[in-house]
Amino acid sequence: MAAGLPYLAVSVCLFGGVWPVTKAGLAHATPLWFAFNRAAMAAVAAALLLALLGRLRWPDRRDLPCILGIGLLQLGGFFALAHLALEFVPAGRTAILANVTIFWLIPLSVWVMGERVSRLQWWAVAVGLAGVVALMRPWDLRGQGPGVLPGYAMLLGASLFWSLAILVTRRFPPGRPVLDLLPWCFALGSLLLLPLALWHEPAGGIGRESWPHAAFIGAVAAPVGTWATIEAGRKLPGIIASVGFLMVPALGVAISTLWLGEALGWDVLAGGLLIGASVVLAARG
């Protein structure tokens, strides 16, 4: 188990800072161009990493469903919706809501995959939903500013895309490790994001002030963080990995509070704790 802890630490540190850094970068960049840069740079960096490891290969036919699921859903669709949502939703809430895959994954596993789900796992869905409600505060949408409701909807849609990608990889497991497929997944995600950026943000782009943020997210956090997450999930017991990855949104909230000055209210604390509890319940179920 000790061999997986360094990978977990790298994953938490990199992914915990993704949304605060992206929020700061969007001060001088438009969301979809920032998302496209993230995917495109990650594709190049992942290809270079695999080339150094001697593992860069063309994908086989058996790998294509996994590449399509991750590239179009978990990367392209998720990046598009989550980056657009950051225009309206604070980075700390984004760090939590973008990771509520458990809310979708358990019901979809039953309806789509026909899996049996324990009573404890259904409780996990209910607790996770309570956490989402606490974060969204539907009783005070007007007080949260214009556009916040579409922002929340986009984040829930982003987590749905992520859950669907997981189901695709379960239903059609690849013949090779997912790490070996990352350059092709990121490249496919960037091919989806490019026309969206050209259509929705024809005059957009990334300003000079935001390029350090974009370079960190695209060349470091996305490829290295994804690699570390895969290795941590492979080397650690499921319950340890599930609980450990809860530190990602927790660190995102902490950085957003200390660096960006975002308010840390009872709703953020309650929502984060409830969603964290739902992951623990699901893992134990």
Least-confidence region, from 1-10, 54-63, 80-89: 1-10
pLDDT for residue 240: 66
**Average pLDDT of the segment spanning 244-268:** 82
pLDDT score of 243 more than 70:
no
DSSP output for the chain? -GGGHHHHHHHHHHHHTHHHHHHHHGGGB-HHHHHHHHHHHHHHHHHHHHHHHT---PPPGGGHHHHHIIIIIIIIIHHHHHHHHTTTS-HHHHHHHTT-HHHHHHHHHHHTT-----HHHHHHHHHHHHHHHHHH-GGGTGGG-TTHHHHHHHHHHHHHHHHHHHHHHHHS--SS-HHHHHHHHHHHHHHHHHHHHHHH-TT--B-GGGHHHHHIIIIIIHHHHHHHHHHHHHHS-HHHHHHHTTHHHHHHHHHHHHTS-----HHHHHHHHHHHHHHHHHHH-
Average pLDDT, rounded, for the chain: 86
pLDDT score of 268 more than 70:
yes
Number of domains in the chain: 1
Give the structural domain span for 13: 2-284
Q: pLDDT (tens digit, 9 = 90+) per residue, 26-54?
A: 999 999 999 999 999 999 999 998 999 89
pLDDT for residue 59: 92
pLDDT score of 16 more than 90:
no
pLDDT over 70, % of the chain: 94
Q: pLDDT (tens digit, 9 = 90+) per residue, 102-118?
A: 678 778 877 877 777 78
pLDDT score of 1 more than 60:
no
